[in-house]
Structure 1
């Protein structure tokens, strides 16, 4: 997650839980020189288990296949493009229509149902196992959208980073996941201006 910036708003626990899940998913990608962590069934199983979305003691329903891992990468790439569009990245804006069509189409495979309690109502996956794990991602997205936090999920504009982060700035103007990335990009812009003025 992004480092808390001065003057930034605190993230309500429910929003943090939803954003942490989605960002944890997006940040499994090979961004910023990191290796691909979902290149097969084992990688997807490990992530789903760490995220608390898969009970590996559940038997056959918990089995993960290579096709599931491929579906996870496709879904992750679509979410990534949407978050890049939230950051104003050119490639994200260009790919946004196809990414939106993709997530709208595949969301039908992972239905959600309302779970009512004295505290309120929330959407939960209608299925167990891997399908329920994917459904939990859509439930998190729906939760963030309902709370006005969906557009705050972004991808760092530092090309050497590209990690997903939750923008906690008051006016949702954050472009970098950390002060380190912001400083690095400011220094790069300064050097570029200096070269042009010579």
Structure 2
């Protein structure tokens, strides 16, 4: 099992990967919101604990435990916290989750086509890269758009423009509204 603790803004974050920590039951009992996803036979264990730093307690406000797949190199779990809105984006395997850390409450659950790669932030837009998908949300957790991609692909953001290259075919479009062929949320 590997574990790491970091501070993001006012939030103390603990991450575990591999095996469930011995203190998991105590963490679940002490958390304001504790959720578990996926049975153990469906992948590798990953957990995220978020506590407000300086809140006078080491008990987490949020604890999310999950088994995820794919869990091979290149498909690492990821977390992005937007300190000013208190929204946490979690990705692992094909599962995407967003939480409001101020309440705490789950905002939504989504799926990453063929496996999550990473979160990225550009101003007030949060990007999610997956094997077959590039998607965007605002920093409050509302989905803006999603588009199909296939490897090899990459992007770069310059100001308000996203430049996307998919299999040596490049196109540019507004970061907030996405490409013309993107899937827009209802």
Tell me which interval the TM-score lies in, with the shorter structure as reference length.
Answer: under 0.3
- TM-score normalised by length of structure 2: 0.28
Greater per-residue strand proportion: 2
Greater per-residue helix proportion: 1
Which one has more relative contact order, counting CA pairs under 8 Å at least 6 apart? 1
Rg (Cα) greater in structure: 1
